[in-house]
Amino acid sequence: MPDKIYFTPGPSQLFHSFQDHFRSAIKENVANISHRSTQFIKIIEETNEAIRELLQIPEGYHLFFLNSANEAWDRIIQNLVIESSHHFVNGAFSRKFYDFAIRHGMRSTRTQPEDGESYDNFNIPEKAELIGLAKNETSVGFTFTEAEIEKIRQEHSDKLIALDIVSASPALPVNFSTIDTAYFSVQKAFGMPAGLGVWIVNERCVEKSLKKAEKTSIGSYRSIPTLKKFGSKAQTPETPGMIYIYVLGKIARDILNYGVKRMQNDIVYKAAIINQTIENHPSLAHFVSSEKHRSLSSIVAKANNPSVFFDAISEKGMILGKGYGVHEGEHIRIANFPAHSRESIEYLCDLIGNLE
């Protein structure tokens, strides 16, 4: 049976070198060595170095390994919010972050337009200690512009900013100097199976976690102080997903060797083809109304009858993403990650264009 190409926005298409790196990890006994060994410490150091270079993370930011981005929501609320956060909700995943805060007993607030619509304002309550944003809302294809994030930072420099970069990085550039913490899972734009998350925090976050710890619990083995203690030695508090950490570093290095700017230019080129296909098709329309807020890496279209597209494209060995949550029967979602070649996107769009 021939391999399929997955345009689902997570899990998604595996990066072309994933299997080679996975085999190398097995051959090098990464699964068997001690997570406290010098061999594995070197692996963490190499992965950290590659991620920092790839995402252009400044000095003063720490990288921690988690199980997923969902776990990051818990850790952020546990460590960085004492009473209240404010969340810009533009889809299901940014809504879940807000819901996590409420479940933790926070008096958090949200700004929530209709899905696919832009914000009328960026008003944030004074009481909010942290602002939650999704650089790229995977569920509906809404993206915050870098100018908007910078404006929020300038107007609320006293508050921490947490940025969801799950389906953004490394496909889209992110200015880390405008945020305090960010997080992603590897099963989207990094082209890996699910099972590993990366949490990035700066020193402001470290200070806030210590301040909160003086008043109440901030968790146990994965609190920021504990993660930093072990991270400073290129270790983790517990035995982590060692093979995945190894592979993540290798894929990050592959993208660096290919060229970050070249890869991101590919993303722009492929997005233009997909967007043009949507605009030219009589049965499709962009879900996000504002052009500047349409994602380049997870593109969402409204469809009169999505099943027609799913079935026909699947017969050609390509898997489209279905709508998420309440939009399951209304949308087509198309991932545009580094693992998706120009040729596969062009072929996909030709197929879509020929469907009625």
CA angle, 163 then 227 then 44, to 5°: 90
pLDDT tens digit string along 242-275? Answer: 999 999 999 999 999 999 999 999 999 999 999 9
3-state helix vs strand vs coil in the chain, percent to 5? 40, 15, 40
| pLDDT given at position 221 | 87
Q: How high is the pLDDT of residue 3?
A: 85
What is the share, in percent, of the chain residues with pLDDT greater than 70?
A: 99
Short-list 172, 173, 223, CA closest to 201 = 223
Mean pLDDT of the chain: 97
Alpha-helical segments (H) within 82-202 = 92-103, 146-155
pLDDT in the model for residue 176: 97
CATH number for domain 5-13+259-353, candidates 3.90.950.10, 3.90.1150.10, 2.40.160.10, 2.40.160.40: 3.90.1150.10
- Structure confidence by residue, pLDDT tens digits, 204-220: 999 999 999 999 999 98
**Residue 68, both tokens:** 């997923």
pLDDT digits (tens, 9 = 90+) for 62-111: 999 999 999 999 999 999 999 999 999 999 999 999 999 999 999 999 99
- Strand order in 298-303's β-sheet? 284-286, 298-303, 331-335, 321-322
Structural fold of domain 18-257: Aspartate Aminotransferase; domain 2 (3.40.640)
pLDDT band at 241 (very low <50, low <70, confident <90, very high): very high
| Alpha carbon separation from 68 to 50, 73, 121, 156, 187 (Å, rounded) | 19, 9, 31, 28, 9
The domains of the chain are located at 5-13+259-353, 18-257
The one-letter amino acid code at 102 reads I
356 pLDDT exceeds 80? no
C-alpha closest to that of 70 among 152, 166, 140: 166
pLDDT of residue 2: 52
Mean pLDDT of 2-23: 95
Predicted local confidence at residue 48, as pLDDT: 98
| pTM of the predicted structure, to 2 decimals | 0.96
pLDDT, average across residues 13-32 = 98
Q: What is the per-residue pLDDT for 315?
A: 96
Would you say residue 1 has pLDDT above 80? no
